[in-house]
Chains A and B, each alone.
Chain A
Amino acid sequence: MPQIPGNDILIALATWLRQWLLTIGLDPASIDILMAVIRALLLGTLALLVFMLITWLERKVVARIQDRIGPNLAGPWGLLQPIADGIKAITKEDTTPDGADVTIFNASPIVAGVAALLVYAVIPFGPNPGGDCAGTPCGPLTGTDMSIGLFYILAVGAVSLIAVLMAGWSSNNKYALLGSFRAVAELLSYEVPQVLSITAMVMIAGTMNMTRLVEVQSVPFIFPLFVTALVFFISGIAESGRSPFDLVEAESEIVAGYHIEYSGMKFSLFFLGEFVHAFAVCAVVTTVFLNGWVGPFSFVPPWIWFFIKSFAVFFVMMWIKFTMPRFRIDQLMAFNWKFLVPVSLVNLLVLAVLDTVLRMMGLGRAANPWVWGLILFAANLLMLFIALWALGRAARRTRSTERRIVARMDDVTPAAPVTAASAPAAGN
């Protein structure tokens, strides 16, 4: 008799549903398809509910960071605010600009939303309950347990670029087009350190299967892979288009960039895509670096731990968003190509060499996880110090160059002093 954890209501529900479908005479293949459709519906609804919770949470957190209260009128603590926003978005008029390419114009919010949603198909919310696949669920609590789950996430995360291009091009607006070019340049650039840090992580773990990644972490990977986690987190923030990397869609910069011409529910779908993508990045960080659904108390279902950790990571994301000023576009690109990409390449090389050396010495992850973790953590700290020192040196050099240029300009063209004699008399 397989062990179904009595505390896990979702597995109990799934077991009951499977057995009931068997008794009404459905064959296992159609049961699989029906359960897949139910899983897809649940995952979609989960993403949307999380989106609503996140919009409320974000507004409350930004308010507290800015020393005010935030929405508190729509329901207790403003909890019904997302519903009010939804109603507003649905009842707003939906203008389409002249000369816009209507099919692409209408399709791009859906593409943006679906691209962000697709990541949730492989995120592991719970462990494998170990049942037989006919009567009791046999897979882990996830949409689908793909063997290349992490690679799938990278591939699908890039689909949102197409939505950005579609939106910018079909709007018949040169500012939307420029905004979408910039957004695509930024999103493409930040794919590189994201993919490189994922490669470093896959190398250390030895698998791309999301459930195996959680099981393999005897030490949560945030300690031995600290620089990798940092690079992935920062490039994930940039990929979602959030502050401080949101130049391409900020209101004071380019008046909403590629979604200038969208209003009402379509704009809300872009907004949804961004937030859902941000939470997906948090969920991936939780799975890969923070030990996923593992938690200390066994009476709490694993997916509760998963959400606690994901929301903690999301809180850090919000904290960064509301603390730092926005980057300029050239600062954005320079930060990526001149800092993040070299750091992630060096990180990959150092980790590869160090892990092989430790494995040959018998101190590998399988043999002695804590010593291995400690040595790698020390190596990560060293890399971080060297990277920040090199950054400080480059910054000092740039500042002294700028100071020299400004000083030389002052020498060549001194400002003529304005005296009473040379200034034209007022009122003449």
Chain B
Amino acid sequence: MDGWAFVGIFVVVGAALLSVPLILAALLAPRKPNPIKSETYECGIETYGDTRVQFKAQYYVYALMFAIFDIETIFLLPWAIAYQGFRTIFPLLEMIVFILILVGGLAYAWRKGALEWL
């Protein structure tokens, strides 16, 4: 049977297996909500200010760097699988050029301070 069909079955079986303790907890756990217990946690004080805060732009820069290197790896993986069957050195040289371009990009980001946690 196809591998992905098994993954589909596994997702369903896994979710069912993990829901069993949750259902048990829903049956067995006490449920006595009161306004103080349902407050959001802020180290014991009352919350103030908006909850959905803005996020720092630096997170976006990290995500961007991740996207670039992830796409580089997507290009690298088929090359890596075919690697043991190469008969000349030209595919290797071309991939070295590709990786060096991306190393250049990493060096540029490093010097420009894009990798600092501000």
List residues of A whose CB falls within 8 A of some B CB.
Answer: 32-33, 36-37, 39-41, 43-45, 48, 86, 89-99, 109-110, 113-114, 117-118, 121-122, 143-147, 151-152, 169, 171-175, 177-178, 181, 184-185, 188-189, 191-192, 195-196, 199-200, 202-203, 206-208, 255, 260-261, 264-266, 268-269, 272, 329-330, 333-334, 337-338, 341-342, 345, 348-349, 352-353, 355-356, 360
How far is it, in angstroms, between the C-alpha of A152 and the C-alpha of B7 when the chains are bound?
A: 10
Contact A177 B51 (CB under 8 A): yes
What's the dominant secondary structure at chain A's contact region?
A: helix
Which of B18, B22, B33, B40 interacts with A171 by CB under 8 Å? B40
Contact B7 A118 (CB under 8 A): yes
| Interface contact tally, CB-CB below 8 A | 219
Choose from B28, B40, B41 the contact partner of A91 (Cβ within 8 Å). Answer: B28
Q: Which residue of B lies closest to A95 (CB)?
A: B37
Partner of B41, one of A173, A184, A192, A208: A173
Contact: A94 with B25, CB < 8 Å? Answer: yes
- Is A199 a contact partner of B73 (Cβ separation < 8 A)? yes
| Contact of A93 with B32 at beta-carbon distance under 8 Å, contacts A110-B15, A114-B18, A144-B3 already known | yes
Q: Closest Cβ of chain B: how far from A5's Cβ, in Å?
A: 24
Taken residue by residue from 52 to 90, chain B's Cβ proximity to chain A (1 for < 8 Å, 0 otherwise) reads as 110110010011011001100100110111011110010
CB atoms of A345 and B38 under 8 A apart: no
* Contact of A199 with B117 in the complex, beta carbons under 8 Å: no
Give the total of B residues in contact with A, Cβ under 8 Å.
70
Whether A98 contacts B40 in the complex (CB less than 8 A), given A192-B66, A337-B65, A353-B92, comes out as yes
* Chain B residues with CB below 8 A from A174, complex form: 42, 47, 49-53
Contacts of A192 in B (CB 8 A): 65-66, 69-70, 73
Kindly identify which residue among B5, B26, B117 contacts A94, using a CB–CB cutoff of 8 Å: B26
Max chain A C-beta neighbours (<10 A), residue from B30, B32, B70, B102: B70
Please state if B10 and A40 are interface contacts (CB–CB under 8 Å): yes
Binary interface profile of B, 1-28, with partner A (CB < 8 Å = 1, else 0)? 1011111011101110111011011101
- Which partner residue on chain A sits nearest B38 by CB separation? A98
Which residue of A is nearest B30, CB measured?
A: A93
Q: How far is the CA of A317 from the CA of B35 in the complex (A)?
A: 42
Other-chain residue from A90, A143, A202, A337 in contact with B81 (beta carbon distance below 8 A): A202
Whether A206 contacts B52 in the complex (CB less than 8 A), given A110-B18, A117-B14, A185-B59, comes out as: no
Tell me which residues across on chain B come within 8 A of A208, comparing CB atoms: 81
With A117-B18, A189-B62, A195-B70 given, is the CB distance from A95 to B38 under 8 Å? Answer: yes
Between B13, B52, B79, B85, the greatest number of chain A beta carbons within 10 A of the residue's beta carbon is seen for B13
Assess whether B6 is in contact with A40, with CB atoms less than 8 Å apart. Answer: yes
| A192 CA / B69 CA spacing, docked (Å) | 6
CB atoms of A90 and B1 under 8 A apart? no
